Amino acid sequence: MISDKLKNVVRDVNVRMAYSSLNKLQRFVKVHKDALPVSSNKDVVYRITCKDCDATYVGQTSRQLKTRTSEHISHSKKY
């Protein structure tokens, strides 16, 4: 192997060699996780626009967005 021959040559001049492979498996195999739907996100700032007027509401939640928006919907049905 070429690396063995180089190792013998540079040993005489007090040089150390390090080897690295350019063709690593991670370059060829990519594992992608499926993206979560936006409604499953946590720790978000959100804006809700009223369908009946120009009012908007900006909120922040550490819970899932779908949980908080369903609470807004059920609350708005009361009024």
Q: Tens digit of pLDDT for each residue in 7-18? A: 777 777 777 777
**The total number of structural domains that make up the chain:** 1
Q: Which domain holds residue 17?
A: 2-22+37-78
Q: Is 30 a domain residue?
A: no
Residue 41, number of CB atoms within 10 A of its CB: 13
Q: Is 28 a domain residue?
A: no
Q: Is 51 a domain residue?
A: yes
Q: Is 11 a domain residue?
A: yes
Task: Extract the tokens encoding 1.
Answer: 């192997």
pLDDT band at 47 (very low <50, low <70, confident <90, very high): very high
Q: What is the pTM for the complete model shown?
A: 0.51
Q: Is 62 a domain residue?
A: yes
